Structure 1
Amino acid sequence: MSRDSLGTPGKINSVSPYNIDGHLLANSLRLSKSNLSKSDFTVLSASIMNDGIHTITGEIVVSELGNTLTNADVGSISELDTAIFNLDLGPFPQSGYHTLSVELLVTGDQNINNNTGQIELAVQYDWNTIHINEFMARPNNDQSEFIELVTDTALSFFGWSISDNSKVGRLLPEFTVSEKDYIVIAADSNIVSLANPEMHFIVPTSFPALNNNGDGIFIYDMTGHIIDSLVYDSDTWPVSSEVSTEKQRPAFLSNTANHWTQTPDSIAMTPGYPNVTMWQNIDGNVLQNSISHSPLYPSPNTPFQMEIGIRNSGVLPFVGKISILENSVELTSGNFSTIQSRDTSLVQIDIPGITSGIHPLEIQLDIDGDENSRNDWAHDTVKVSYPFGTVLLNEFLSEPNIDQTEFMEIYFPQSLDLGDWTISDRSKVLKPIPDILVSQNQYLVLAQDSIIYEYVEMNKFVIPMNENWPTLNNSSDGIFIYDMTGQVIDSLVYSDNWPILAGRSTEKFRPDYISNDSSRWALTVDANAMTPGKQNSIFYESLAESGWIDLAPNSFSPDGDGMDDVLNIRYQLPFEQAAITINIFDATGRKISTPYWNRASSQEGLLYWNGLRSNGKPARIGIYILKFEARNGSSGRIWEDIQTVVLAKPL
């Protein structure tokens, strides 16, 4: 078949051989070694075929970018013979890829279309042409594993790869970098917003997952030569969760643990930026992890001490000042003496007393000429405990009916933020209270579930705790309120000698009374069987400490058998004389009898109740509330007490 698409009428046939036609077999070009060091030699093997009729002579020339590297005389090659020639090449002082042009020069060659070919070799880059400068081995869910590199020279990342300790290379995409560029190679794009937008951010198809407790990082050029590497562990290397590990200087050897530092917690990482731990001439560093205060939970308005670690991360010694601020207002400050290069000093600062609550404090380092201000700030949260009785238990229901729910009511004599406050029963398993702000003189109702809404007025502070409710045992348990320091602020432990009744809440006479005293509590006399979120039904405006009443026998059985038929009400008043009123309420809060109304009495006396209702009929067996009131005629003062009495069958 003709080689010419139009045929060759009147000309030499296209398939006829040329008289002189040397042919370089381009597909035969081979290198004895295609990946070289800068000192390596290689041998180029080339096959030449005589496609013509006459013997050929000439030479092979190997060049790069027009510059001849080597040549060889091919001698004489007969018709249709093939000869193989080996040419020595190297060394190549320039790292990177080299495309070599091979050309056959034959005297009088009538066909030069088959006289050339090309072959490529790669010369490895020097050790540390690229520096590993930062890596993250233990990210949280919002972070990414990453490796940061810094370049010493401009180059093309074509055929480069990375690996972990498995030595299984993961190919990087092709890109070009300039001298001193930063390259961040990340497992995913989670941290792209934190990275320097002017650097190279790469998410390769396959990232070598870095083990938390120890692994390796290896950077390979296109020849497979390791350009930089390190092998870290969790014992001797500064590798920690949620913060990266930074090199102190990019040019330092990577595989030396003491050339690396953990990025401060307040910063966490610096992808694509100069490392925050990089040594500067003057660089003071507040060590966040070193900050402590004593005592851990200071008392209100009591001075305490803060200890702060300051490290000289630079080259030159310095002196300076530490300031402590809250809401950008300085609380105090203190100077510190000279700290030498790479040394750390613990500085003690006396803090004036602050009020109860949670105080986020800022620590500011001030050093003249500091070249790195990003590590001059730190923070400490100081929780100042509240005094016992800052909040007060005021009502609780431990044995609800089926249409009720367990609850406790807390009274707030002052406004309070309940951030990190907790409650518990006697098990001491802490249950968190929602973070809310309660106003002064307000009641907060914490309930087991949302049934409580049926018993409270609108716009009251009511919180169904659900799974965070500390289930109260019916007749014996405890209630504990803790502030954010774990300090018990109020508590009580009730038992079967407390006024506990199914379906009725237990109320305190006054919020400011001691909670863990059963004599300060009584069953509610409210018609709704409880008063969550409002003043208790048994609330006293005042209660004289010196008065008392005693009920005996309790229980009593007014059945006419001559035994325990009458309840004796013995009393002593805080007045010389008074008018006495006694009311009896049933368990639902209904008044059933008023045995005495404005009865004049001396300071001591004995009265009775025969168990009859106001209509003269016997009261039913059950639990009743006796409310005793004494009014002093001269001063108008009132002394009251409420006690529970049991009307029972004879034993």
Structure 2
Amino acid sequence: MFLHRSFLFASALVGTLALHAQFTDDFGDGDFTNNPTWEGDASVFIVNGDGQLQLNNSVAGTSQLRSANTMASLNDMEWRMRVKLGFAPSSSNFARVYLVSDQADLNGPLNGYFLQFGEAGSADAIELFEQTGTDLGSVCRGTDAEIAGAFDVGVQVKRSAAGVWQLWVDPTGGTNYALQATGSGTAHGSSSTIGVLCTYTVSNADSFFFDDLYAGPAIVDLSPPAILDVTAISATSVDVRYTEALAPGAIGSYDILPFIGVASALLDGVDPSIVHLSPTTALTNGSTYTLLSDGAQDAAGNTAGLVNTEFTYFVPLSAEPREVVINELMADPTPPVGLPEVEFVELHNTTTTKTFDLADWTFSDGGTPVALPSYLLGPGEYVVLLANTNLGAYGSLPNKLGLSSLPALNNDGDALALRDNTDALIDAVTYSLDWYRDAVKDDGGWTLEQIDPTAPCAGPGNWRASNAAAGGTPGAQNSVYAIVPDVIAPVITGVTVSNATSVGVTFNETMDQGSVQNATYTLSPAIAVSSVLASTTSAQLQLVAELVVGTVYTLSISGATDCAGNAIGSNSIVFARPEPVEPGDVVINEVLYDPVVGGSDMVELYNRSNKTLSLAGWQLANESEGEIDDIIPINSALLLLPGTYALITEDVAGTLALYPQSAADRVVGSDMPSYNNDEGVVVLLALDGTSLDRFAYSDDLHFTLVNNPEGYTLERVDPDRPSDDNTNWQTASDVAGKATPGFRNSQYAETPAASGELNIDPAIFSPDNDGFQDVLTLAYRFEQPGFVGTMSIFDIVGREVRRLLDNQLLGTEGAVSWNGITDEGDKARMGPYIVLMEVYDLNGNVEKYKRTVTLAHRLER
């Protein structure tokens, strides 16, 4: 059922209505058999769910429905209807609506008038015909080609007492009719039947629709025209659309407030329900105005009074990257602190002059993007994205936008992307738990907030947990908001070598991609760069010749800037083509297995070979009951030049915060096996599963006087000594900050070259864990293998305080260390000590070696 505008009948028509019955049917009762009664091919017609009379056949044919409608005279009569065909009409598929007929059978000879919808060719128009018997004559014809395709039209037909017919049409299916044609037809002056006749092929047997039929005395319009809508077409053109056609010369007066005015007002030449206004002053995009209109008249002379109508001038603008930003997100709302327990994402317009329509923008977390509905986001404004099902939780929040579904935000991290309606990337955020910078708040209930939303190079350092008492600031300025200009130059953080002619370089912050693409890259020794593939964080260089194994190159870069325009600072880095790794090339050099609360395990590797190695393909693992398990690939291709380090940890930001002394460029973020906090085994594997090193750790290896090893690393004393030599491991120095991530260990002590069979270094040592001469190293060397030895430490009166070797088979050379702790676990007293080493072989040869050392303590004041 299509409801048209309500009209009133003139009181002068009361007498006429008594003589001429009024026929009307909008099929709102869902039935065409009563009130009024329709007859004919009733079995192939239905009233559909939209309250429309619909042909519903399954074969080709010609079908009709008709209803009795007695009109003793056609003078000053009117007919209205809505007709819809779901196809392009033709000579085989067309409809007729009989306004007047003196016969019940509409498909036979009759006297009357009908409207035809459809004809041969492509100029189909609505046409009014006069029929006498079987002879047809055109009375008037509407606009050519108006119904050449599928259509839905509203039609009004009027006949005067003089026999002049008028055809009025609304091409939108409504009642805002415009006059299309007039003609004369006086052959027939009465009627007994009204009806519809459909001719169709099988493909269109269910695509004829009729509604809102009226036949009776002309309806007198007593309602003034009303404004349907006001549309700003451009900054200098505004259209006012009325509910009906206006009378030419009486279109009213207009003004636009504030301070705009109207220079001219013109009635549309095709659709007289539209008035075109030309503002005196150009409109401002994104602004809302008030239109004052007064005195508009319709064709019946009804005049509208003064009306105020608000409208907004908005032209969608294209957003540049980060003009709209992902500004705040609630990834883990449980347990709630003060906000509703639902996830949300806040967007912020960072511009001062632009308004954006978010229609058909998308938001995603790596899965299927979710489309945003239309929403005007003005300069500096915020909007909170919520799932439709969660809108009620933020019922009082005005600036919220419901989505069919909000992608689930992972508690521990996710990659989010905001794209405009052309799929251009506007902003992206890849967050992790590190970004909270708060071990309590990252457990839930607090949002992540951006510090400086205008920062062009936003990254992890530009985010932190909210400081708001409620746990976040949805729809408002962030609690951590601050303008932080970027004046720091970017630096090169690493080089990877994919193959002999492909080199990758990474930077420490978001770069200007164009500058990275066009930068100058120089290698020394010289190899030319043939092509560059740049991103915002890296560049892949293709070389014209192969890198030579064993040659160390220096890569220098000039012309690259970060996205804030800062030119690259430290612009050179050394690298080499990596060689295959073999057992013994790399060792486990430092281990943190018992981190502080909120910290992360760490494993440091050291390249003790003279080769350049790559972490690509290496794996860390656990060992349980002699079996390798929990194998985790190291997610990095960092190069290890001879004598360099790499620290592996899951939480880079947290590690750098807890251990600020770390060599940041040697810290690698990667998933890791889970290591026990008291004892376990760290295993390093090559890509093919070959064991490169293995270290069995335990609390017993820590310096005895460290009461709680939490947060302390175990450091390898000498990378050239075996990993299973327990005396080769020592607690990291307090002075060094409990760890030395990415650089030489605080307890490093090179094993002295044996000048005889036993050598000591240093002669005076101070085991106070300050990182200076904390460990005594005792190196031995024999010219022949096969010796078994015992090594003990005695105090000045000859008491044994520590046994370092106990009848152990020795190699031709080796070393052990003493950290000043006795066999009872006590700290040895200050003073001189005797080192006695006794060795023998199977031939009965016995040798004794004696050395004197001094154990010193720091004097307390």
Q: TM-score, normalised by structure 2?
A: 0.29
Q: TM-score, normalised by structure 1?
A: 0.36
